Amino acid sequence: MHQIVQNLINIKDEINQNLSHSENNKMPKIIAVSKTFGMDKISPLIEYGHSDFGENKVQEAVEKWSSIKSNKNDIKLHLIGGLQTNKVKSAVKLFDYIHSVDSEKLAKKISVEQQKQNKNVKVFIQVNIGDEKQKFGVDKSSVSQLYLNCKELNLDVVGLMCIPPIDKPSDISFKEMNVLNNSLNLKELSMGMSSDYLDAIKNSATYIRIGSKIFGQRS
């Protein structure tokens, strides 16, 4: 068995062990964050049957995934990086999920493009949970308003997403996110990466984004 596939299995086993001691017993979807990795690393996971993959740059994803997506309908591609408005057309065409909606301007652009392409993309609203100036994401105080804006634009908002600050325990941010998500009655919650996904799952994450723990360190 390929080592990358074994890494994924090990992560699932670890999650299952933790879920057995938790009130939350639902296995989250694992997004294999394949950004910067070539198909030699990704193909073993596809052959194994894994279907959810994450990319953070639209152009790189278009070059890497367009032909594969046209031949494999079960692949679900997640945009997990910031999205510039001039890349929305390509993003809507390729991706199934956009995890980084953080402004009404971007939401409007996605809405218009969906209508043009007759395609429905599921979206997460990205929250700047640590109030960090350098990070993407909408302020916590503005989440509910952006959610209403997205609904008025007929966007399929499935949940919230965050990248917690590195200078405080992730668990604090994840608890805040869970409260925010519940306040909007959203079903999905995208949070947790290779270093903190178990804490995210304890706080009801339904999508976790795992890169290095599956693929190894990026060169």
What pLDDT, on the 0 to 100 scale, is given for residue 72? 86
Residues 78-96 pLDDT 10s: 999 999 999 999 999 999 9
| Mean pLDDT value of segment 173-180 | 96
Is the pLDDT at 98 greater than 90, yes or no? Answer: yes
Contact between 138 and 146 under an 8 Å Cβ cutoff? The reply is: yes
Residue 79, pLDDT score:
98
Residues composing the chain = 219
CB 95 within 8 A of CB 121: yes
Per-chain mean pLDDT for the chain = 94
Structure tokens at 56: 């953070």
Q: Which two tokens stand for residue 82?
A: 């910031």
> How far, in Å, CA of 213 to CA of 58, rounded?
23
Task: Indicate the SS3 state at residue 79.
Answer: strand
- The number of folded domains in the chain is 1
CB atoms within 10 A of CB 91: 22
* For residues 24-43, average pLDDT: 92
- pLDDT at 22 exceeding the cut of 70: no
Q: Which of 35, 50, 139 is nearest to 80 (CA)?
A: 35
Nearest to 56, CA basis, from 90, 88, 93, 99 = 99
pLDDT tier, 219 (very low <50, low <70, confident <90, very high otherwise): low
| Structure confidence at residue 18 as a pLDDT band (50, 70, 90) | confident
For residues 61-79, give the mean pLDDT: 93
Q: Which residues are bridge partners to 157 per DSSP?
A: 123
- Find the angle CA(203)-CA(84)-CA(183) to the nearest 5 degrees: 30
Phi, psi of 180 (to 5 degrees): -60, -45
CA 140, CA 44: separation in Å to the nearest integer? 39
Closest listed residue to residue 145, CA positions, set 166, 123, 127: 127
CATH number where 142 lies: 3.20.20.10
Tell me which residue range forms the domain holding 25. Answer: 3-215
- Between CA 54 and CA 80 the distance in angstroms is 6
| Amino acid at position 188, single letter | E
Sign of CA dihedral 136, 142, 147, 150: negative
Asked whether the predicted pLDDT for residue 66 surpasses 90, the reply is yes
- Classified as helix, coil or strand, 196 is coil
What is the predicted pLDDT for the residue at 23? 66
